[in-house]
Structure 1
């Protein structure tokens, strides 16, 4: 019996443009592919192992032609709209109090600050959850097993009573290894508001 719902944020609630952001980054930084060093720095930043100041300093040292604003704009390009029907979906779940609701997101300070600034109902969204975990705040990152173990232990949850929704296959596969039920949502065809209609076998 499912008692706990664990949700990713990007492409589950807020829409992302991953392909567009990558194309924009390649153009902005005038590279054909993202160098491994950049990918490594981005990962460190997402896990909260370097500060926003250190992150921006790195980019400005490596791309001196760009202003800080241009770097931030390129970084936040991925963030798109947050459909209100998804807010209403999670508000309804919160009101019913049938499940423990947890958000578990790989994100960073610049992204979450931009979301807070641009999504008028962000605080209403956040208060729907019993726990709200952002990778840069807890210094853990999906798909590493320790982030799922942290969530289970911190909230005294059983893996077999938990259901995790994420758009990234490696993240859901890692959770599945621990006995958590998963939905690798296809954001191009599916919507989080279809959770119960698409997974009647579990609910």
Structure 2
């Protein structure tokens, strides 16, 4: 019996254009993504380096203005469909499940979301969850299994009673290895609002 639901954020609630940042960086002359660049990204996503350090790394490496870098970095972020907010608010109000958010999100992205949505909407959304875990705040990231173990242990959750939805298969595979029920949703054809139709909830 499912008692707990862990939600990803991007391409589950907020829509993403995952190629946008690469396209924007290419326009600025950054056409190849090196392993060193990816390592800086992972460190930033885990909150192990600051926003200033992260932006300065690309600025110094490619001589691109920091404003252009930040704009390109946030290009991935799109809209938050209203029907998904209604869904999570109703689910939270029902008190049928313990709800958690678990997102690989960095400081620049969450700051953009807070500014774009406004404080009222952001708070309204955040309050739907018992815990709101962002990778850069807890120094852990998906798909590393330690982030799922952290959420289970911190909240005394049983994996067999927990359901996780994420649009990245690597992430749902990692959670499934721990015995968590999963849904690797396809953003183009599936929507989080259909969550309770999944077999695990029947």
What pairs with 1:53-72 in structure 2 (closer than 5 Å)?
53-64=52-63, 66-72=64-70
Distance in 2 between residues matched to 1:32 and 1:52, nearest whole Å: 22
For the 8 Å contact 1:26–1:34, the answer to whether it is kept is no
CA distance in 2, matches of 1:112, 1:127: 16
Q: How far does residue 67 in structure 1 lie from its aligned partner after superposition?
A: 1.6
Runs of at least 4 residues of structure 1 off by over 3 A? none
Partners of 1:25 and 1:86 in 2: CA distance: 30
Unaligned ranges ≥5, structure 2: none
| Residues in 1 aligned to 2:19 and 2:55: alpha-carbon distance in whole angstroms | 22
Aligned counterparts, 1:26-105, within 5 A: 26-28=26-28, 30-64=29-63, 66-105=64-103
After superposition, give the CA deviation of every residue in 1:76-115 in whole Å (9 maximum; x if it has no partner).
0000000011010000011000100000000100000000
Whether the 8 Å CA contact 1:76–1:110 is kept in 2: the answer is: yes
**Which residue number in structure 2 is paired with residue 111 of structure 1?**
109
**Contact 1:172 / 1:182 at 8 angstroms: preserved in 2?**
yes
CA distance in 2 between counterparts of 1:162 and 1:128 reads 17
TM-score (structure 1 length as normaliser): 0.96
Please give the residue correspondences for 1:112-131 in structure 2 after superposition, counting only pairs within 5 Å.
112-120=110-118, 121-131=121-131
TM-score normalised by L of structure 2: 0.96
> Residues of 2 paired with 1:51 and 1:19: CA distance?
24
After superposition, what is the alpha-carbon deviation per residue over 1:48-78, rounded to whole angstroms, capped at 9, x for unaligned? 11011111111111122x2211110011000
Unaligned runs of 5+ in 1: none
Instruction: Tell me how far apart the structure 1 counterparts of residues 30 and 60 of structure 2 sit (CA, whole Å).
Output: 15
Is residue 12 of structure 2 the alignment partner of residue 12 of structure 1?
yes
- Tell me the SS of whatever aligns to 1:133: strand
Q: SS at the partner of 1:183?
A: strand
Q: Distance in 2 between matches of 1:43 and 1:7?
A: 20
Secondary structure of 2:76's aligned partner:
coil
Task: Verify the 8 A CA contact 2:172 2:183 in the aligned structure 1.
Answer: yes
Alpha-carbon contact 2:2-2:200 (below 8 Å) kept = no
- The CA RMSD over aligned residues, in Å, is 1.0
